[in-house]
Amino acid sequence: MGPRRFHGIVVATAVIGASALAIAAFGASLEIPKNPWACASETACIRSSAGLAQRSGAMLRIKALNGKAVTFTDSSPDCSPNEEADPPVECPTYRLVAYVRGEMPYFLVKQIGDVATHHVISARSAQEVYSRIGDAAFSPDGKRLVSFIGAGEVATFDMEIANLQTGKAQVEFNGDSDDQGASGRRGELKGWTSNSSIEFTFLENSGAGERTVSAAAIRKNSKWKIERKRP
């Protein structure tokens, strides 16, 4: 993704003005609308759940509409992670971070540990319908979830989009930095700009070194593809 070339502009002031407009437009493209399902805090999520979700000390309990329940319990404060133990000792904590209300309601629980993992729980059945490491966010209509891994042992980013409309997760798309011919270091999920567009950034290796690339996963004709944005 190279810088945009301005053809036919010979007056210096015009060049400066056009460049300023391009920079402003690029900046505006990364102004992501507030996600309607993400909660400002777990307390806000619990309040909006109308009693389906409750926190009691270290325990997060989610009661589904069918009466069944699932619980997530934080590790004790004196827990000490040990990756070399057999089995490895992990000390996760859990926070309710989003709640989709509507015909197909879902809770999003974030497991916080060495690597963050997100769990999608059906508010109808209390069943986990999807789980994946990385950042995650529901689409504005609540019908899809994007999960995004921006860093790890391998210098890459990885994005997966799951359709949740049927009550089960159906993966519609998976793409990573290898598809872009780039290292993809320090990828960052920006969020949904619409029900068919997800913006993110990553670092790309080039002959001149690394540079930040702004890109989007776009859904057209029922198919997703990654498009790089041009500043």
Q: Which DSSP string corresponds to 140-208?
A: TTSSEEEEEE--SSSS--EEEEEE-TTSS-EEEEEEEGGGGTS--EEEEEEEEEETTEEEEEEEEEETT
Is there a domain that residue 8 lies in?
A: no
Is there a domain that residue 14 lies in?
A: no
Is there a domain that residue 194 lies in?
A: yes
Split at pLDDT 50, 70, 90, the class of 225 is: very high
Nearest in space to 44 (alpha carbons), one of 99, 2, 100: 99
Strands 128-133 and 93-100: unpaired
Is there a domain that residue 135 lies in?
A: yes
Contact 177, 184 (CB under 8 A): yes
DSSP 8-state secondary structure symbol assigned to residue 1:
-
The residue that leads in pLDDT, 117 or 84, is 117
Is there a domain that residue 27 lies in?
A: no
How many structural domains is the chain composed of?
A: 1
Is there a domain that residue 130 lies in?
A: yes
pLDDT digits (tens, 9 = 90+) for 36-81: 999 999 999 999 999 999 999 999 999 999 999 999 999 999 998 8
Average pLDDT, the chain: 83
Nearest in space to 90 (alpha carbons), one of 98, 77, 81: 81
Q: Is the pLDDT of residue 18 over 50?
A: no
Q: Is the pLDDT of residue 165 over 60?
A: yes
Structural domain for 111, as ranges: 32-76+86-228
Is there a domain that residue 68 lies in?
A: yes
pLDDT digits (tens, 9 = 90+) for 77-112: 999 888 888 888 889 999 999 999 989 999 999 999
Is there a domain that residue 2 lies in?
A: no
pLDDT of res. 28: 42
